[in-house]
Each structure stands twice: as C-alpha cells, then as structure tokens.
Amino acid sequence: MKMAGFLLLLSGWFLVLAAVVLLRASGPQAVFVLAGIAVEILAFVLLFRAHRIARGRPE
C-alpha cells in the first residue's frame, strides 16, 4: 500500500510535467497541473492510511 502511494505521488508529478511539456494553452495546462496535484493528494491519503494500518490503528 505504501509502495502504491509513492508510485501515485510520482504519477501525479509526471502528470504535472506532461501538462507543462504538451499543453500550450494556459487554461488546459492549469487544469492538468491541478489534476496532477489532486493525484498527489490521493497519494498522501493512501500513504497516511498505510502508516496508520502499519501502526495497528483502526481505520
């Protein structure tokens, strides 16, 4: 679960990079950057949950 969280973090970053490289119009570029950050936030949720489970705390 922790590994998945870190992979998701990297995926979010790649999404942000792809938005910068591939999109020229400022609107879609900003939307994709925000989407990348949303993926990173999801990754943090996963990582914090993984940490709680590893510590034996109930969800």
In the complex, the residues that contact another protein under the rule CB under 8 A are: 2, 6, 9-10, 12-14, 16, 20-22, 26, 29-30, 33-34, 36-37, 40, 43-44, 47-48, 51-52, 54-58
> Least distance from C-beta 39 to another protein, angstroms?
8
Residue 21: CA count within 13 A, CB half-sphere: 6
> Least distance from C-beta 44 to another protein, angstroms?
8
Check if the beta carbon of residue 8 is closer than 8 Å to that of residue 56: no
What are the C-alpha distances in Å from 11 to residues 20, 41, 52?
14, 11, 23
> Least distance from C-beta 22 to another protein, angstroms?
7
